[in-house]
Amino acid sequence: MDYAAEKQVALDAELAIRCGRTTAAGTPCGHRPIYWPGRGRVAGCNRHMTADEERALYEVWLDIKTHYACPGCTAGVGDPCREERHEIRLVNGDWAKIRSFAGIRMHDARLELFEDQAERITPINGD
């Protein structure tokens, strides 16, 4: 399988993941969970994340921003990712895509740098 096909399979798998936490109506939530760098979509969605999960995830995103420069744009360590066309770079043949959490916007390529640190990132719910 070539690189583009592998990326598409991974994207399709990620989009199929659902929160699954119980809603007020007692049914499983069908929203997509929040992206947890280094772990994927393992926490709840925006509506069902616990305060502890939200706080821990916010710290992870801040840690990434303060310790890694972005390979997907011209942002240095501690700088916010840039979204202007002339400042975005190709990463492994793809244009960097933006993810956001709690008002922090970062390219997925920057978040992927943190995947090597996955053992440090343990969601509060134990997933």
Q: What is the chain's pLDDT, residue by residue, as a tens digit (127 residues)? A: 777 788 788 778 877 888 888 888 999 999 988 888 888 888 788 889 899 989 999 999 999 999 999 999 999 999 999 988 888 888 877 888 898 888 899 998 899 888 755 544 444 444 4
Assess contact for 54 and 60: CB atoms under 8 A.
no
Residue 58, phi then psi, degrees to nearest 5 = -60, -40
Tokens representing 8 are: 């598409």
